[in-house]
Amino acid sequence: MRQSMERRLASLESEYLTLLKAALEQCASGHWGLFGHNDRAIDQLGKYVREKLVSAEARQLLDLGAEIEVLRNKLGFAEQFAAHRRLMDMRTSVDASTSGEPKRAQQWLKEMAGGDR
């Protein structure tokens, strides 16, 4: 049972990293929404408009990240999945001096290319 859960976790984390890289590349090319910089403004709009403007990539990563965290907790891992923790930190650390989403995505991609996550 534990081995199948560990295999499932490894598969989900691999899928997450693949989706994250694609989302970062899209964001770096100018598609906003991954880091949630405009979420407060979008939340003020009607449901139909919100659904059109909210980043599908961000939603998918948030859902997958939540699933990973549940599984990690069941397996007794003390630390969170680093890539998801970083995404969540970046989504909540927005102020007037924060770089725009494309620049943040470009920086993260450079770090990933260098082997850092």
81 in a structural domain? yes
Model-level pTM?
Answer: 0.87
Q: What is the pLDDT of residue 115?
A: 61
Residue of 87, 34, 24 whose CA lies nearest to 59: 34
What is the mean pLDDT of the segment spanning 36-42? 76
62 in a structural domain? yes
Measure Cα distances from 34 to 21, 45, 57, 73, 76 in Å.
11, 18, 7, 25, 29
- Structural domains counted in the chain: 1
Instruction: Tell which wins on pLDDT, 65 or 98.
Output: 65
117 in a structural domain? no
pLDDT above 70: residue 116: no
Q: How many helices (H) and strands (E) does the chain have?
A: 6, 0
Q: Residue 65: which domain range?
A: 2-112
